[in-house]
Structure 1
């Protein structure tokens, strides 16, 4: 699934990984309002504050935020 420019959903899982061996990427698995699910990369500051069950909202041209 391609993550659209605008969406909202609930955090199902938090994870982080160094896919390239140098940079640590923080991502969350989000269950979108339509029932589909995808991994979404989020900024470190947001990742640190998120918990499973939190609602995220993404608007076109912006980073995801708590909603």
Structure 2
């Protein structure tokens, strides 16, 4: 029987499912105009981790 793969914490986001927004650096504001919200992260300063799809875990290889 093949061994079952178990999920492990995503190393890209440390298991949170989110990463710091690269456009605003996590501030939630536009990098050039502070009074304007960042449209990439909707002012949260965080975006879904692309490596795990926001799940926070990936299958162990």
TM-score > 0.5 by shorter chain? no
Interval of TM-score (by shorter of Structure 1 and Structure 2):
under 0.3
Using the size of structure 2 for normalisation, the TM-score is 0.23
Higher strand share: 1
Larger RCO, structures 1/2 (Cα 8 Å, 6+ apart): 2
Q: Which has the larger radius of gyration?
A: 2
